[in-house]
């Protein structure tokens, strides 16, 4: 009677649930080991999006708005 119940249990040996858990666990351990070795071997690359120094923003002397590019301010342009 007990052997029949253990074979039909939802998470018994016949369901394969324990094998999936083992595979997921081994996969995560392998990914962790690869990440540790990759962190040691990877060269240090500076982040191109991170700025160490801030650029001084150019402002118009008349209206105080920011000037984009190299052209004159919008208030100085003839319409």
* Domain ranges, ordered by start, for the chain: 2-41
User: What is the predicted pLDDT for the residue at 33?
Assistant: 94
Give dist(CA 72, CA 24) in Å, integer: 61
Read off the DSSP letter of residue 62. T
User: What is the predicted pLDDT for the residue at 32?
Assistant: 95
Closest CA to 64 of 74, 49, 51: 74
pLDDT tens, 2-32? Answer: 454 455 555 555 568 888 999 999 999 999 9
Give dist(CA 70, CA 74) in Å, integer: 12
Which residues are CB-neighbours of 76 under 8 A, at least 6 positions away?
A: 60, 62
User: Does 58 have pLDDT greater than 50?
Assistant: yes
Q: Is the whole model's pTM more than 0.75, yes or no?
A: no
Give dist(CA 28, CA 68) in Å, integer: 49
């Amino acid at each position: 009677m007990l052997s029949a119940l253990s074979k039909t249990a939802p998470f018994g040996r016949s369901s394969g649930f324990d094998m999936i858990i083992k595979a997921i666990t081994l996969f995560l351990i392998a990914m962790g080991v690869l990440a540790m070795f990759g962190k040691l071997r990877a060269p240090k690359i500076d982040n191109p999006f991170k700025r160490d120094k801030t650029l001084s923003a150019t402002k118009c002397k008349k209206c105080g708005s920011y000037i984009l590019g190299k052209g004159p301010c919008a208030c100085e342009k003839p319409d």
